[in-house]
Amino acid sequence: MRVAVGSENPVKVAATERALPDAVAEPIEVASGVPEQPRGREQTITGARNRAEAALAAIDADLGVGIEGGVARIEGADGLFLIMWAAVTDGERGGVGGGPSLRLPEAVAARVAAGDELGPVMDDLLDTEGVAEREGAAGVLTGERIDRESALVHAVASAAGPFVTEQY
Ligand SMILES: O=P(O)(O)OP(=O)(O)OP(=O)(O)OC[C@H]1O[C@@H](n2cnc3c(O)ncnc32)[C@H](O)[C@@H]1O
Ligand SMILES: [Mg+2]
């Protein structure tokens, strides 16, 4: 099975291959149609959907996968959260699913709320380079108990449900 992944970020491609082990995942740079730093669940899901559809349209694949990281306020909880959503489509049907939500430290949240992108803010505060392409905020904020790739496996597997089980 060929799966077009709407990103060249290696953690997104690796997460897709772990969630869909029968697939050969092909990274494709596509437009998300939303800001670089999506805000709110709706914008984040829209970005994931747009990436999945654009990736599928770009090559002759069986499925398109889109993954988007966003920040959102969540009813019932204080602070700003990192959220992550995935979308899967075969051109006719689609599914979406979410990964974990992680509360951002105040210093990070303040800069992101002021308009900065999360990845560069994390790199700046941690003195790292490209943390979003490695362990990610998920790794840093959980003391490495999980990392961005494993967090995204949950989002992609959840979104892919309709294509891998008859339960839908
Ligand atoms: O090349 P693409 O696919 O765009 O990969 P990306 O890492 O930019 O990922 P997103 O666009 O989906 O994420 C939007 C922003 O949130 C950041 N982000 C999302 N998850 C993150 C994480 O776990 N750690 C650090 N930054 C993260 C990311 O770096 C971007 O600045
Ligand atoms: Mg991006």
Please give the pLDDT value at position 103.
98
Query: Is 118 touching ligand 1 by the criterion CB < 6 Å?
Result: yes
Nearest alpha carbon, ligand 1 atom 1: 9
Please give the pLDDT value at position 2.
97
Element (H, E) at 164: helix 161-164
Cβ atoms of residues 97 and 86 within 8 Å: yes
Domains by residue range for the chain, with CATH: 2-164 (3.90.950.10)
Please give the pLDDT value at position 123.
95
Please give the pLDDT value at position 134.
94
Q: Does residue 61 have a known ligand-binding role?
A: yes
Query: Is 137 touching ligand 1 by the criterion CB < 6 Å?
Result: yes
Percent of the chain with pLDDT strictly greater than 90: 98
Q: Which residues of the chain have pLDDT under 70?
A: none
Please give the pLDDT value at position 40.
98
Whole-angstrom distance, CA of residue 80 vs CA of residue 147: 19
Tell me, in angstroms, the distance from the centre of ligand 2 to residue 37's CA.
Answer: 7
Which is the closest atom of ligand 1 to the Cα of 71?
Answer: 16
Query: Is 9 touching ligand 1 by the criterion CB < 6 Å?
Result: yes
Q: Residues for the chain: how many in total? A: 168
Whole-angstrom distance, CA of residue 153 vs CA of residue 95: 15
Please give the pLDDT value at position 76.
98
Mean pLDDT score across all residues of the chain: 97
Cβ atoms of residues 26 and 59 within 8 Å: yes
Please give the pLDDT value at position 84.
98
Whole-angstrom distance, CA of residue 5 vs CA of residue 30: 9
Phi first, then psi, for residue 40 (nearest 5°) are 95, 155
Tell me, in angstroms, the distance from the centre of ligand 2 to residue 168's CA.
Answer: 31
Instruction: Select from 5, 7, 16, 34 the residue to mutate for testing ligand 1; criterion: most ligand atoms less than 8 Å from CB.
Output: 7
Please give the pLDDT value at position 141.
95
Whole-angstrom distance, CA of residue 75 vs CA of residue 93: 30
Which ligand has an atom closest to residue 141 CA? 1
32-60 tens-digit pLDDT: 999 999 999 999 999 999 999 999 999 98
Whole-angstrom distance, CA of residue 18 vs CA of residue 34: 26
Query: Is 104 touching ligand 1 by the criterion CB < 6 Å?
Result: no
Which ligand has an atom closest to residue 117 CA? 1
Is the entire prediction scored with pTM above 0.95? Answer: yes
